[in-house]
A and B are shown apart, each in its own frame.
Chain A
Amino acid sequence: MASRKTSQPKRESGDKYSVLLPTYNERENLPLIVWLLVKYFGESGYNYEIVVIDDGSPDGTQEVAQQLQKIYGEDKILLRPRAKKLGLGTAYIHGIKHATGNFVIIMDADLSHHPKFIPEFIEKQKEGDYDLVSGTRYQGNGGVYGWDLRRKLISRGANFVTQVLLRPGASDLTGSFRLYKKAVLESLVERCVSKGYVFQMEMIVRARQLNYTIGEVPISFVDRVYGESKLGGNEIVSFVKGLITLFATT
């Protein structure tokens, strides 16, 4: 097959991509996202591994993850669970420690980030030797599915205010679908103190501050089909607090 032939040199390039999948109650989504990751990595031929960081989900996500590991192999699916829900930021730190690739991809496990964009991220990264590549809902063919007018307005409004105040040099600050050089991610994670959405924002703002180069790829964000969002609550309040903190400290 033609695709096999073209995929061969990619495996030999020595680059390896570690996908970090933090999960909390994603029993239904995890098999689907893993299946899609395997599909697109298989087709594009890049070397990869999937690191599942489950925070003791009561719905049995870990058990599903073990089944997936049996199906796809222990070299492809790494399980690095933690005993209890300790938050997204520390889940990444935990995951990076166990990632063996020289690149790390961070994405949500709830299917709102589609693995079909990963080959585009990788090509973009190679194109400019970028330190990080960020998915963006706000440019080109990027967009969202399942958002009403109110949510679009809040999203666009918050993004505009942030762009004016922080001039971060990236169009999507709160998105969390990104590819990093591993060393870059490590140095960023070490510096970032925020939680929740603001964590993603701080990562990219600090990246700019440290003069890391940023590439962007338009992505479509499809609202989760299964399970429910774990953030939420007083999202807007914590966003504003985070924005002010970054405004005053970076």
Chain B
Amino acid sequence: MYRSGERQVAHETRETNALVENNGLLRYANALNFYDHPPLFDVTVDEFETTAIDRLRVLAEIESSLARNRTWEELKAITYAQYMKYVPLHTSTFTDAVEERRKDHLGHYVLRLAFCRSEDLRRRFVKAESVLFRVRFEQTEIELRKEFLNSRNFNWIAVTQEEKAQYHQELYSMYQSPKQENRADAFKKEKFSKVRWTRVPDLVEARRVFLKSGWAYVPGREQSSIIFQEFEVQLEKALEATSRLIPRLDEDSRLIPVLDNLSQGFVAGIASEWMNAAGSSSSSDIRAEMVDGLAKKHFPMCMRGMHENLRRDHHLKHFGRLQYGLFLKVLGLSIEEAVAFWRKSFDRMTDDKFSKEYKYNIRHSYGLEGKRANYPAKNCLQILTSSPSDVGCPYRTFSPENLQTALLSMYSQEGLKSSDLPEIMSTVKAGHYHVACTRVFEITHASCGVAKGEGIGGGESVTHPNQYAARSMELGKSKKEDDAME
């Protein structure tokens, strides 16, 4: 089935013939791949999906590293560890090399299909993939890099010795060598190449190349700039082309949900559900990118509302931040994860503004700044009596209509039906807000075996949002284990 999709892609690039028959090392001569040609081999839907999920983990980790503002060296180390774990790719040629490279090739193309469908997804995919390529490129030995560069036409023109002599003064004045004292020697050995200046805009902007008639004279050391730029440009173009072909894929009903799930997983920073569904990640630590998934399944209405406001507005006002931040702290988000979570959530803010105005407060709430107090999260009583309505208890502050709408939109996936509403609304009307909240907990956890009146355990009702969330997560975990036993 996937094959038919591939054929169409291949047909579009008019290179079908050359590719159908080729296998093995002839095909994957180098671990580095510019992904110029689509994979043309049969895969099961299963392999299609697992290969893509494995790659998605690596890309999600790259995204979150970028959001955390990690240095290039840190990013490189983390990305290397991640891809060696999930999509290993050794540079040397050994027995499993073909299989590794085949998987790398397939995963990239499946994700192209999943991420070509909106401009935002395309942009993020290109960014993450080009970081991955760059990390791999830098991990590759010089000889193998050269081999790779020779295998593909990057459309650069070697600068002849005569030309180098002609522009000696200009080239030398802009030449930077790693070691100042060897500059003259290094320059003598340096091989320059020419490309149109538009292919190296970064080098031009920084005045790091000599320009003549629109040609940029790029020293060998900077050639990687051309390669990375080319990688991004080619991938952008390819994704746009793929997005125009995608409607033809719709014939295969088995693939569309897989692709939908993949792209949603990326949007949520690979949601926890995906991690769990795919097996291995069972760490009790809560990571920034898991909050989206947890909010949907386990948060009480007040915190669920905060989370949705944060996602909608890309911002949260002071008291909201404080209250939600402390809730997440108690939930188990470490300080590093909290900073990453808020940095990612305030995605319309500059790094500078974030560091100056918000980072301190986050650290403060973890007791790392100021008077270093270990602030507790607010309990229901405090929330019920707090004054700004946007951080209060929704069972109390919402109008009856709004409350019913919000309840259905937030919890119908967890089993809440409109027939449950009259009972909840009557307790609200009587002013028993925590009872209403507890009842919602019971209804939404009926599938975990929670009966009416059991509350959050032993008949206890909700008195703290963290108690609600912790119990919900506990139930979710044991249910998964039970399911696995059966």
Q: Do A and B come from one complex?
A: no
